[in-house]
Every structure is written in C-alpha cells, then in structure tokens.
Amino acid sequence: MGTDRETATPHKNELFTGSNKDFIIRRCTTDDLEGVIKVNEKELPEDYPYFFYKSILDNYPEGFLLACHRKNPDKVVGYIMWRIERTPSKKSLKLINKGHLVSIAVNKKYRRKGIAKELLAQSMPAIKKYEIKEYVLEVRVSNYSAINLYKKFNYETQGIKKKYYKDGENAYFMSVKTKDLAL
Ligand code: ACO
Ligand code: ZN
C-alpha cells in the first residue's frame, strides 16, 4: 500500500481511484462503522450488531473497504467486508485459508456505477497476505445483481444451502479458487 506522499491522495485512508473518478475506495476505520451500519440496514435484510462489525474490522482490517464520494469522503456509500477461515481442503485434510465474503452493499442511489466491482477488485488482493486459496460466499438465489457481479470474477455456484436466510430463502454457495480469479 502506498504512502500518502506516493499516492498524493486527498483522504488519509484512500487506497485507490477506480474507473469511476467520482468515487474513492478506502480502508474502514472505527469512526466509519456507524456509516457502514446505516448502508447495511438500508440495503440488506441481514443486519448485525455493532460488535460484529468491530470484530471484523479488528481482525481483518485489510479487507474491510469503503466506497465514498470524492466530494464527501467521510460518508460511506458502499462497503465490503471479509473474514478469513481456516478449513480443510476438499482434496486433502490439509488446512487452507479461505476468504469468506461477509457482506457487500452499495447505496441504491449509487448503484450500477461500478462501485461493487471496484470494492471486490480492491479487497481480494488486499487480503492476499493471508495466503488465501479460495474465496467463498453465500447469496440469495433471487439476488440476480449480486450473482452476476460474482460471476464477473469467475465465482461459480457450488451448491444450495436450504433455508439459509431467516425468511426461509435458499442461498447459493459460490466460490472461486485464487488461481482462477478474474481480476
Ligand atoms: N442487474 C443485473 N446485473 C447487475 C445489476 C442489476 N441490477 N447490478 C449489478 N449487476 C452486475 C453486473 O454484472 C454489473 O456489471 P455491468 O454493470 O458491467 O453489467 C456488475 O454486477 C457490477 O456492477 P456494479 O455497478 O459494480 O454493482 P453495484 O455497485 O451496483 O452493486 C450490489 C451491486 C452490491 C449487488 C448492489 O446491487 C447492492 O448493494 N445490492 C443490495 C445488497 C446486496 O444484495 N448485497 C449482496 C448480498 S450477498 C453478500 O453480501 C455475500
Ligand atoms: Zn457467509
């Protein structure tokens, strides 16, 4: 990650200016959690308590990224958060690290501008240091936008988790091996 001097950025936590120059991608801080929770509660039925976000941020800060409008870089318009899991690989009993996408959301007003794509494209390399072999996630079977988004990165559906969500909806379990990732 570059220093402020190297990247000459206007915001202390800015990582990257994506293809859409109106938005920046930056690391989340404790001060941002309120903004993250606001976006989550507006855009997703899966809500979590504050301490859950805080523990993700404390444990895996590299993968907890925000999208903000360049003109108002303190306001969160989108976020992505990952956790790292150590589980046996399918082929052998060897333990491998997997990146598990906990949640991603973008404010309705700012959708279809490439923000989610940018959040994924920036966060997956950002957690590389954990030597991740595979990225995994669950998504509602009805969530076409998100499924399309994941397919762009070469995620494939591996199976269905029945009644995964509180309202009874099924989830697709999707994954991509690091070597097959389209970034
Ligand atoms: N219809 C079809 N495909 C879509 C749509 C849509 N409405 N929106 C996004 N996509 C797909 C397309 O393939 C798109 O590429 P394209 O624009 O080149 O066609 C690609 O996703 C990337 O689009 P972005 O503009 O980067 O996506 P956006 O910033 O709009 O955010 C997101 C997508 C996060 C799914 C957004 O719709 C959202 O916040 N939805 C509500 C929250 C949610 O469902 N989150 C995922 C839950 S699953 C989980 O968190 C593990
Ligand atoms: Zn999950």
- Sign of the four-CA dihedral 38, 41, 46, 52: positive
Would you state the structure tokens that stand for residue 65, as one six-digit string? 């990224």
Q: Give the residue, 142 or 10, on which the prediction is more confident.
A: 142
Question: Tokens 């957690």 label which residue?
Answer: 127
How many structural domains does the chain have? 1
Give the chain's mean pLDDT: 91
At residue 23, does pLDDT exceed 60? yes
Q: CA–CA separation, 25 vs 50, rounded Å?
A: 22
Domain with residue 37: its CATH number is: 3.40.630.30
Containing structural domain, residue 67: 4-180
Residues in the ligand 1 pocket, defined by CB under 6 Å:
43-44, 101, 103-106, 111-117, 137, 139, 143-146, 148-149, 152
Instruction: Name the pLDDT band for 2 (thresholds 50, 70, 90).
Output: very low
Find the mean pLDDT for residues 172-180: 96
The preferred substitution site among 23, 38, 80, 111 for testing ligand 1, maximizing ligand atoms within 8 Å of CB, is: 111
Q: Which amino acid is at 5?
A: R
